[in-house]
Amino acid sequence: MVIKSKIFWLIFLIGLGIQVVAQSNKEQKRPIAKDPYFKVSEQKNSPEVNEKIRLVHSDSLSRKPDDFEGNPVFYGNVKFEHKGAVLTADKVIFYQEDNFVKAIGNVILVTADGDRLTSDEMEYDGNTEKGIAKGNVVLTDPKQTIKTETLYYDRVPNTAYFNSGGTIYNGKNTIWTQTATYFINTKVVDVTGNVRIDNDKYRLEGNNIQQNQNTNVAVFSGSTRIINKENPSNYVYTEKGRYLMTTKEVYLEKNSKIYYNGKTLAGDQLYFNQTTGFGKGEGNVTLDAPNENRYIKGGYGEIFEHQDSAMITKNPYAVKIFKTDSLYFGAQKIITYQKPDSTGSKKSFVKAYKQARIFKTNLQGRTDSISYNETEAVIHAIGKPIFWSGTKQISGDTIRTYLNKNADSVDSIRVIGHAFAISKADSLNMKDEFNQIKGKSMTAIFENGEIKRAKVLNNAQSITYVDSENNKTKTMDRIGLALSTCGEIKALFEEKHLQIVSCNIGAQTDIHPMSMVPKEKRFFPDFNWNTKDRPKKWTDIFLDTPGYPKTQYISDDSLYDKALEIKKKSEEKEMSKKPHRKHKE
């Protein structure tokens, strides 16, 4: 009787077990809820046989019909393997028919390549070979570490992707980004969405950056900045380029600018070496110095950040911005730099070499080279300089122009060596009558934008036309020509004539009537009134000479010719009165 009872319970339990297993198998056939990421891609025409995920070890096993759709749950030192990748965790649910696992607690995935991924949880699909890691996710390979909260891993292309924000660290650089795709085979990181890369000295910010961890090169398209962390006002901006992060070299290709020491270099193509501070630009180069109210343009440029200097070539020109009338420089090469004076204060300089030209509404000039002290507002012109202002021309060995920094105007001009000033005696006519002053040195004072006074020192000489007002007609009558030689001449430039105010130190002045002065005596031997080379508009600074037609003046020698004729007739008359000696036959 006891034996029959035991047999009954044994048959009952076996039947119940069969029913539970059948029910469990029936529930397993129902598809589990997966993240859309696990969706199978389009398959090839010939279906592939997927390798099954294999259990290697676990401390215990539990299987309940109402838990996890009746699938087995493994606990304690759980270890699974799939195609060379090993997954370990505290707990793993194994969906056998779906070839799918969900790991929970101290999850570690070691790939066949040796990369290590840790997280709080992970789901892995053996059919698609895709995984999703969540919570404190860390992906480590021999070159870098990626940290995020959710990471999507795909073994087929061997990529890892996140879009919830994360960091990437390679021992030298740290990347903060919203979205990133890591190509594990090539060690290339494609990061997008508010990207920031930090190293010891610089920070790279952008919204579309690709970084190759093998070459340590970042390629970017879209708005990007590379900032000097010690001096954030020094940075690079571009919308397309690449950054060699090991050598700290930047190549910029679109809407690019280099900001340094309060200046900006822009151009079609830019290069900058953050270590040496050397940069260069090609095509539509602009060097802007807002602190100096000045910019320089050209076809090619170089900057030296540590020396605070720059050079612009290929049709360069500089513009000094004034409130009412800007000053333009042109030359074959323009250099700008800063250097400290004896007190340690920095002074700013601009130098223009070879065929230097100047244009301002009330001042134009041509010379071989120019040195402009912007801080002290002094322009040095060297190499056969000629300056023009209104109807006046000044030349010499060296010309210094002093600007009024407050009024943005010319204060004075000082000429050193072979100083020569010429002004039209009467600007309203076309006669070749010119007042002239020359000497070893000269200072010309400006008033209301025009040369008003002049002082000539050492071997001072002048040729001036002398006029007198007719009391009846109230017009100016020409008296003659004054020839002066002094140690010092002070002159006053008036609207239609030059008045010699004083002639001191060994003064000698002779006034000759026009009838007594031949044409060649009305000009100094080195007289050169130059109209064809004078810039008339600012774009003339690009030319060696604008080549304007030489102004033709009329020589009025009527009084001298008449006097000469009278003298000749007088001499002939006197000759006729003398007795003629008869020759013997």
Q: Provide the sign of the torsion angle of the four alpha carbons 32, 36, 37, 40, taken in this order.
A: positive
Q: How far is CA 161 from CA 38, 150, 152, 179, 490, in A?
A: 14, 9, 5, 8, 84
Contact 442, 456 (CB under 8 A): yes
State the average pLDDT over residues 218-225.
90
Using CA atoms, how far apart are residues 122 and 110, in angstroms rounded to an integer?
13
Tell me the pLDDT tens digit for each residue of 343-399.
Answer: 888 889 999 999 999 999 889 999 999 999 998 899 999 999 999 988 899 999 999
404: left (phi over 0), alpha (psi -120 to 50) or beta: beta
Tell me the pLDDT tens digit for each residue of 555-582.
Answer: 877 777 776 776 777 766 777 776 666 5
As given in the structure block, the two tokens for residue 6 are 């035991």
Q: Provide the sign of the torsion angle of the four alpha carbons 282, 283, 288, 294, taken in this order.
A: positive
Pairing mode, if any, of strands 434-447 and 100-110? unpaired
Tell me the pLDDT tens digit for each residue of 87-99.
Answer: 999 999 999 989 9
Which of 116, 149, 164 finishes a domain?
164
Using CA atoms, how far apart are residues 327 and 357, in angstroms rounded to an integer?
11
Amino acid at 68: F
Contact 159, 183 (CB under 8 A): yes
Amino acid at 577: K
Indicate whether 461 belongs to any domain.
Answer: yes
**Whether the predicted pLDDT of 21 surpasses 70:** no
**Whether the predicted pLDDT of 36 surpasses 70:** yes
* pLDDT at residue 44, as a whole number: 42
Q: Give the number of other Cβ atoms within 10 Å of residue 398's Cβ.
A: 17
Tell me the pLDDT tens digit for each residue of 141-156.
Answer: 887 899 999 999 998 8
Confidence of residue 138 (pLDDT cuts 50, 70, 90): very high
* pLDDT at residue 425, as a whole number: 83
Indicate whether 462 belongs to any domain.
Answer: yes
Indicate whether 414 belongs to any domain.
Answer: yes
Q: Please name every residue paired with 294 in a beta bridge, in sequence order, or none if there are none.
A: 289, 320
> Could you identify the residue written with the tokens 């021309």?
393
* pLDDT at residue 131, as a whole number: 94
Which of 164, 198, 220 finishes a domain?
164
Tell me the pLDDT tens digit for each residue of 294-345.
Answer: 999 999 999 999 999 999 999 999 999 888 889 999 999 999 999 888 788 8
Indicate whether 206 belongs to any domain.
Answer: no
Burial 474-487 (b: 16+ CB within 10 A, else e): eeeebebbbbbbbe
Tell me the pLDDT tens digit for each residue of 108-124.
Answer: 999 888 889 999 999 99
Q: How far is CA 431 from CA 23, 474, 498, 552, in A?
A: 123, 21, 16, 9
* pLDDT at residue 8, as a whole number: 40
State the average pLDDT over residues 48-57.
85
Percent over 90 (pLDDT), the chain: 48
Using CA atoms, how far apart are residues 307 and 346, in angstroms rounded to an integer?
12
Using CA atoms, how far apart are residues 414 and 419, in angstroms rounded to an integer?
9
Higher pLDDT: 80 or 362? It is 80
Percent over 70 (pLDDT), the chain: 89
> Could you identify the residue written with the tokens 């000469």?
564
Indicate whether 55 belongs to any domain.
Answer: yes
Using CA atoms, how far apart are residues 268 and 285, in angstroms rounded to an integer?
7
Indicate whether 447 belongs to any domain.
Answer: yes
Q: Where are the beta strands (DSSP E) in 274-383?
A: 278-289, 294-304, 309-313, 317-320, 327-330, 333-340, 346-360, 363-373, 378-382
283: left (phi over 0), alpha (psi -120 to 50) or beta: left
**Whether the predicted pLDDT of 196 surpasses 80:** yes
**Whether the predicted pLDDT of 496 surpasses 70:** no
CA atoms within 13 A on the CB side of 217: 10
**Whether the predicted pLDDT of 17 surpasses 90:** no
Tell me the pLDDT tens digit for each residue of 22-31.
Answer: 444 444 445 5
Query: Radius of gyration of the chain from Cα atoms?
Result: 46
Amino acid at 309: S
As given in the structure block, the two tokens for residue 369 are 């080279």
The 8-class DSSP code of residue 530 comes to: -
CATH number of the domain to which 60 belongs: 2.60.450.10
Using CA atoms, how far apart are residues 300 and 489, in angstroms rounded to an integer?
47
**Whether the predicted pLDDT of 33 surpasses 60:** yes
State the average pLDDT over residues 19-39.
59
Instruction: State the chain's mean pLDDT as an integer.
Output: 85
Cβ-defined contacts of 101-106 (< 8 Å, 24+): 101/53, 101/126, 103/78
Query: Whole domain around residue 552: which residue ranges?
Result: 387-577
Indicate whether 355 belongs to any domain.
Answer: no
How many helices and strands, by DSSP H and E, does the chain display? 2, 38
Contact 248, 229 (CB under 8 A): no
Using CA atoms, how far apart are residues 382 and 353, in angstroms rounded to an integer?
10
Comparing CA positions, the residue from 291, 310, 292 lying closest to residue 301 is 310
Using CA atoms, how far apart are residues 375 and 402, in angstroms rounded to an integer?
11
Those residues whose C-beta lies under 8 Å from the C-beta of residue 418, and which sit 6 or more positions away, are 395, 396, 397, 438, 440, 526
Contact 487, 503 (CB under 8 A): no
> Could you identify the residue written with the tokens 């309940």?
64
Q: Provide the sign of the torsion angle of the four alpha carbons 36, 38, 44, 48, taken in this order.
A: negative
Which of 164, 181, 211 finishes a domain?
164
Indicate whether 12 belongs to any domain.
Answer: no
- Looking at the 3D structure of the chain, how many domains does it have? 2
The reported pTM is: 0.78
Q: How far is CA 544 from CA 282, 332, 431, 455, 551, in A?
A: 24, 10, 28, 31, 19
